[in-house]
Structure 1
């Protein structure tokens, strides 16, 4: 889904709805404001809690990847099994295991989540490509469909209407090197954007290397007064190593070690992948009438996966999405409706050795999701905004697996399928009595489809039931109640939420199968305090929550890998116009380790990590920066399963230079 209702249309068109209250004189928005809202999914009167990271903050962040940006500026918790944040899973609203399938990630409004349990590569969209980032917390299934149970992260890339060239280079500890180039401009009415990046690190842990090369090209143009178009292609080559878990004894002795390197098998644990993306849109309509948009995208990932002797696979994923939509607006209302189609195909071959000579298994999987959606917003009285959305989707999964080694084993040879339909809707109220005061109330009926890996054992790790056609979508309810006050330089926001999931999906290690384990409840309170002035910037994000099973054998127990408290703080000082000193701190409370349904094992300890950023700008457009992550070299882990630890990175230094022309 490319944009939400009431989001601004692309820069090639004027807004379709009034920016002033009924009865007031309307003014045309400047072109710059329209461009900033390109591909936004954040409605002007959103009935919920949202965070926006603007391009100025992104440019000055000095971070390696989008993941670091989300953690330091968005107050989002990350977890990683390698110690590299670029491969992290993001956590919103109290989800621990498989959280990546419960946070929808969009690029320019288009979903990029994988159909399996793999997380999004945060190096896939380089920092240099970003215009802004929108974080919508809480369920948005009615507006966006699958995966949007915990929230939505929308990465908006730069357009080509403003001339700009950015060159950046950096180097640091653990063999880290970075080179970025980005250019955008307008040529004969054609908006052109190009960027390229190379990103490499040996990794803080042994066999935790990460390497990425990527390039992208985008074009947009106003073809006629009533039609606009845009098109983009991107390419990426990425590889990385797997350091593996450690026992507690090994973790305390040396968290940088890798059990695979210690055993002399590091060359058997790594992945290589190539990704291609192409997307485009046609937008029909005029500024004084309705609009119709046809967005189409194609994604391909060719992955070579090596996870130890005997576990070598080639995985080809193709994803096709189409979501035509119609929008119309009046003086005090707007509405949208459309269709959505997504098709995922996976082809997998497994081999007995890394040289890929003897094939052991062939498997294929197809998933089709088709749906219809509609939404509207209405301002019946001044300062009161009502919104509603609804979505219906039908999904179908077909899987096949053939083992050449054990051709008669039913656990390794099957051809099965399943399908189901789901409905979601949302209703919200936002009250804005003045420019700096707002309050909201929202209800969501939600769902999340099982990922392909949760349903079928086609990846080479057999489940007790090879294709679980009894597994169905998680469904549930979500309620939000919050308020925001922005007096002068301050921002004060508080938001309470409660979410009930019916049949939450979890891996039952006793049965060796994914099941709709139990109903769960998550309740929490989010608070944000921000301050901006000429010399000081400060932001505090604090979340207190409780996630527990509401029935079944684990009734009353806490959901594992979910901390009860999260706290993020950022303080920036500019003693002179050319110097910025920024301190960042994130604290995450303790949590029960993975698979601890009974809440009886040693917890994953709480941790606090501090970062420091120094930025010197001798003249406009030129900046030098020094970033120290984990300033006090805190020893901690973000993931622990059944007594095995996955250490996070220790202290890391980064020095860089950035030039914008």
Structure 2
């Protein structure tokens, strides 16, 4: 791992003077630790909130489980973040998939979280207990860092002392002897605060291989991961606050066969300056260093065939947004952002268990964007319109093969640099028709660059090898939607959205022959569907659910996948949670989740059967600040097929029971 101590020292040094604010100043200053408030037209887009209570009651304790409260949020595969290959942890919405790269922009306190090389999300590094809420914004288009939001945006906001208390922590163990240990300290320091948190998960894992397919080399999906973060927030003036965050994580897993080890690690740092005066602004800069490794074991000889021993990458970015006081019912946003991703993969190839050669591949992608957006409130009607211009570039791409003596082989190549401008826009309207009815509609376009992984790295998931493609074009989105939000009775909310989204030049894993696929631009992935949500709250009882139906197909004239559903995308997805809090610190919850039929590949030759699971969560106060926590995953022990390729399968989480203690000191 690369050290981040210098960045941490700088962040702490900047923040420390503000913590020394005098007591009379502290009475006038409110520090939130958040970005600027959402604009008036934000609800014009299909937004679902996942509140902290729901995040904390995820039966697995994992963020990918918590995000499933919004139906249609999915990773490329059904495996959770303990038993999947990290490179498959791409997040998408509205069945706009095609491969494992995220088509959803995932932000943590305004910072993009996608891996700079692969585009996956480091899910094990995002602990639900550190978050205050999550906003799931379906559909394309966004302000800052909007290039990449072709399927939507997931905006995560960290929790502060008001939500965390001074000290929280938990220690749990499950029926397989696996453990989860986490803790958070959140003291108030003068007019600001700090949050120090850590988490460690480890265990032997469950069998992902069906009993009938196990061989002596088969093994459980072992995992061992930790993450830690330090976040400091301090006021510089009554209207301006400084936010600093540093984090580090590591995650090691073993998948399917002994020796098939895979993992990731990373270090992140960011500084954010937020001004909430008449001239509101949000300035942000971040730096990320990441690495990934993966050993591929043959399913016939059970010997190594590839050791992707390092994939070092660096991500950097910045943004500045200004909201000048234009008046007249307008909220104007002007901004610019910049992102850069540089990385390479360093691999050893094997023949009969011995090193036979070496491969290296990588490059640099960057994007500079300029955006403006205006919300105009005129009585009950809010109109919004915005535009982005992005200057993208693909540079320094290479693929190099060398033999054991280090001599470069003929397959090696250096790719030409490319660059260009792309424009995108979004607009919408929100009508507060009555106190109980809101009508909304929007139209948008979007852009996503191919990742370094898609451009330059090939990989194998036996028996299929997927080739890279350095000539991939940018994906472009065009979509529109309309919806209604109802509040017919006190405590009851209902939402319904109909949408039509099309990703042109979509990048898909296209079948070449029985053992080969390649990443290619197809004409489009077209998705139409509906999304519904409902919630009911009465005293200490609540019921919340969401439903997604998506009719998606690939448009690729003249190719076998034309008209077929994108791989790994279900038509139906649903989630519902009933919870009861009979008294303070009590919480009982049941979550029912359904994922419909999916297909393993682009030709729909292998299917993944529908899966319906039931989860449970219970927190019961004991003495003092201590509570008993019980969690149950997949209580009905539903068979969840996560991979089905020819004659081999992988399975998802079986029934798992957790028990432990939680401490909560206010």
TM-score w.r.t. the length of structure 1 is 0.84
Specify whether residues 31 and 378 from structure 1 end up closer, same or farther in structure 2 by C-alpha distance, changes over 3 A only: farther
Superposition deviation, residue 286 in structure 1: 5.7
Partner of 2:255: 242
Partner Cα distance (2:262, 2:36) in 1: 32
Superposition deviation, residue 414 in structure 1: 2.9
Superposition deviation, residue 438 in structure 1: 1.0
Partner Cα distance (1:441, 1:120) in 2: 30
Is the contact made by 2:586 and 2:619 (CA closer than 8 Å) also made in structure 1? yes
Partner Cα distance (1:558, 1:53) in 2: 29
Superposition deviation, residue 122 in structure 1: 1.3
Partner of 2:273: 282
Superposition deviation, residue 310 in structure 1: 4.0
Superposition deviation, residue 225 in structure 1: 4.2
Partner of 1:441: 441
Superposition deviation, residue 238 in structure 1: 1.5
Partner of 1:27: none
Greater mean deviation of Cα atoms: 432-441 or 159-168: 159-168
Partner of 2:573: 566
SS across alignment from 1:58:
helix
Question: Which of the residues 543, 559, 566 maps onto 1:538?
Answer: 543
Is the contact made by 1:311 and 1:350 (CA closer than 8 Å) also made in structure 2? yes
Does 2:645 match 1:645?
no
Is the contact made by 1:161 and 1:192 (CA closer than 8 Å) also made in structure 2? no
Partner of 1:315: 311
Partner Cα distance (1:39, 1:356) in 2: 56
Partner of 1:18: none
Does 2:608 match 1:604?
yes
Partner of 2:483: 482
| 1:78-157 equivalence runs, <5 A | 78=75, 80=77, 84=81, 87=84, 88-98=89-99, 100-141=101-142, 144-157=145-158
Superposition deviation, residue 494 in structure 1: 0.5
What are structure 1's unaligned runs of at least 5 residues? 1-12, 14-29, 244-259, 261-265
| 1:225-304 equivalence runs, <5 A | 225=238, 227-243=240-256, 260=257, 266-267=258-259, 269-283=260-274, 285=275, 287=277, 289-304=278-293
Specify whether residues 497 and 466 from structure 1 end up closer, same or farther in structure 2 by C-alpha distance, changes over 3 A only: closer
Partner of 1:624: 628
Specify whether residues 458 and 569 from structure 1 end up closer, same or farther in structure 2 by C-alpha distance, changes over 3 A only: closer
Partner Cα distance (2:230, 2:585) in 1: 33
Specify whether residues 196 and 66 from structure 1 end up closer, same or farther in structure 2 by C-alpha distance, changes over 3 A only: same
Superposition deviation, residue 236 in structure 1: 1.1
Is the contact made by 2:138 and 2:153 (CA closer than 8 Å) also made in structure 1? yes
Specify whether residues 555 and 411 from structure 1 end up closer, same or farther in structure 2 by C-alpha distance, changes over 3 A only: same
Is the contact made by 2:527 and 2:550 (CA closer than 8 Å) also made in structure 1? yes
Does 2:347 match 1:343?
no
Is the contact made by 2:522 and 2:555 (CA closer than 8 Å) also made in structure 1? no
Specify whether residues 74 and 184 from structure 1 end up closer, same or farther in structure 2 by C-alpha distance, changes over 3 A only: farther
Question: Which of the residues 585, 589, 594 maps onto 1:587?
Answer: 594
Is the contact made by 1:133 and 1:155 (CA closer than 8 Å) also made in structure 2? yes
Partner of 2:14: none
Superposition deviation, residue 519 in structure 1: 2.4
Question: Which of the residues 294, 306, 319 maps onto 2:295?
Answer: 306
SS across alignment from 1:540:
strand
Superposition deviation, residue 517 in structure 1: 1.4
Partner of 1:217: 230
Partner of 1:21: none
Superposition deviation, residue 522 in structure 1: 0.7
Specify whether residues 409 and 465 from structure 1 end up closer, same or farther in structure 2 by C-alpha distance, changes over 3 A only: farther
Greater mean deviation of Cα atoms: 457-466 or 51-60: 457-466
Does 2:328 match 1:328?
no
Partner Cα distance (1:274, 1:465) in 2: 25
Specify whether residues 494 and 415 from structure 1 end up closer, same or farther in structure 2 by C-alpha distance, changes over 3 A only: closer
Partner of 1:361: 359
Is the contact made by 2:590 and 2:617 (CA closer than 8 Å) also made in structure 1? yes
Superposition deviation, residue 359 in structure 1: 6.8
SS across alignment from 1:57:
helix
What are structure 2's unaligned runs of at least 5 residues? 1-17, 19-27, 208-218, 298-303
Does 2:389 match 1:389?
no
SS across alignment from 2:43:
coil
Deviations 1:539-567 (A, max 9, x none): 22111220113451244333332222112
Partner Cα distance (2:427, 2:593) in 1: 33
Superposition deviation, residue 495 in structure 1: 0.5
Is the contact made by 1:348 and 1:459 (CA closer than 8 Å) also made in structure 2? no
Superposition deviation, residue 73 in structure 1: 6.3
Partner of 2:183: 181
Is the contact made by 1:350 and 1:460 (CA closer than 8 Å) also made in structure 2? no
Deviations 1:276-334 (A, max 9, x none): 11100234x562x2133321000001333322324112111110101122122335111
TM-score w.r.t. the length of structure 2 is 0.83
Partner Cα distance (2:58, 2:624) in 1: 16
Is the contact made by 1:476 and 1:500 (CA closer than 8 Å) also made in structure 2? yes
Specify whether residues 520 and 459 from structure 1 end up closer, same or farther in structure 2 by C-alpha distance, changes over 3 A only: closer
Superposition deviation, residue 147 in structure 1: 2.5
Is the contact made by 2:430 and 2:441 (CA closer than 8 Å) also made in structure 1? yes
Is the contact made by 1:42 and 1:134 (CA closer than 8 Å) also made in structure 2? no
Superposition deviation, residue 117 in structure 1: 3.7
Superposition deviation, residue 464 in structure 1: 9.9
Greater mean deviation of Cα atoms: 198-207 or 354-363: 354-363
Is the contact made by 1:315 and 1:347 (CA closer than 8 Å) also made in structure 2? yes
Does 2:371 match 1:373?
yes
Aligned length: 603
Superposition deviation, residue 211 in structure 1: 1.3
Does 2:200 match 1:198?
yes
Superposition deviation, residue 79 in structure 1: 5.3
Partner of 2:172: 170
Specify whether residues 108 and 142 from structure 1 end up closer, same or farther in structure 2 by C-alpha distance, changes over 3 A only: closer
Superposition deviation, residue 431 in structure 1: 0.7
Does 2:419 match 1:419?
yes
Greater mean deviation of Cα atoms: 43-52 or 472-481: 43-52
Specify whether residues 182 and 574 from structure 1 end up closer, same or farther in structure 2 by C-alpha distance, changes over 3 A only: closer
Deviations 1:147-196 (A, max 9, x none): 21111111111235775211111111333211111111221334211111
Partner Cα distance (1:83, 1:61) in 2: 13
Is the contact made by 1:495 and 1:526 (CA closer than 8 Å) also made in structure 2? yes
Specify whether residues 368 and 37 from structure 1 end up closer, same or farther in structure 2 by C-alpha distance, changes over 3 A only: closer
Partner Cα distance (1:356, 1:346) in 2: 27
Partner Cα distance (1:479, 1:410) in 2: 48
Partner of 1:252: none
Partner Cα distance (2:608, 2:226) in 1: 35
